[in-house]
Amino acid sequence: MARIKTDKDVTRREVITKAAASLFREKGYKAASMRDLAVKVGVEAASLYNHIRSKTELLHDVCFNIANLYWEHMGQVETSNATTPEKVERLLRFHIHQMVDNYEEVYVSDREWRHLAEPYLSNYKNQRRNYRKRFAAIIERGIEQGEFKQIDAPTAVLIMLHAVSGIDSWHRSREKISAEALEENMVTLLIEGLRK
């Protein structure tokens, strides 16, 4: 029987989770099967259960791994000594990097989270909502300090996050600019759009 191949710093569970993210992005969570995942990983379906309990557990891992990564970065940005525009830029650049570098996991956490089981679904929705509120609070601070235009901060956050989510089409483009140029273009357009 084949064994799951890993690098020395990666566990078998991490290999399975990464493969699951790729599969969920390709087929969608509902259509993906454990048999599909076993083929992708190169093992018998039954041997997957030595490392995970269910497809639901894999979706949970993908979604919360990404959510916790964003949550942790938000905390670092909030407590930094950076100016308000610098904080928004750091958050935006982090989102762009995650979408470029961890595309499949971010894509799944952004589009397939609705299939999470309770109580995880409610927890995930609350975490997403609170993250957006924290992001909006930073923009509101910039408005109060006269650094940003008088705009609706929650709307600005949604526009920024949807713009970053649109990197999906960049991933599929045959004639794409470099990731660095993409990042600089997005940061320039989105940050300058806020400034007074």
What is the number of structural domains in the chain?
Answer: 2
Tell me: do 34 and 67 sit in the same domain.
no
Specify which residues 148 forms β-bridges with.
195
| Helices 120-144 + 153-165 axis angle, to 10 | 120
Dihedral sign computed on CA atoms, order 149, 188, 72, 156:
positive
Residue 3, in any domain of the structure: no
Predicted local confidence at residue 45, as pLDDT: 76
CATH number at residue 94: 1.10.357.10
Tell me: do 90 and 187 sit in the same domain.
yes
Tell me: do 33 and 59 sit in the same domain.
no
Burial class (CB in 10 A: 0-12, 13-18, 19+), 58: buried
Phi, psi of 148 (to 5 degrees): -120, 160
Tell me: do 38 and 128 sit in the same domain.
no
- pTM (global) more than 0.75: yes
Written as tens digits, the pLDDT of the chain (196 aa) is: 455 555 666 788 888 999 999 999 999 999 999 999 989 988 887 778 888 889 999 999 999 999 999 999 999 999 999 999 999 999 999 999 999 999 999 999 999 999 999 999 999 999 999 999 999 999 999 999 999 999 999 999 999 999 999 888 887 777 778 889 999 999 999 999 898 8
- The pair of three-digit structure tokens given for residue 4, joined into one six-digit string: 């799951």
**Which domain covers residue 181, as residue numbers?**
55-194
Nearest-angstrom CA–CA distance, 182 and 192: 15
| Helices 55-78 + 103-111 axis angle, to 10 | 100
**Cα 81 off chain centre by:** 25
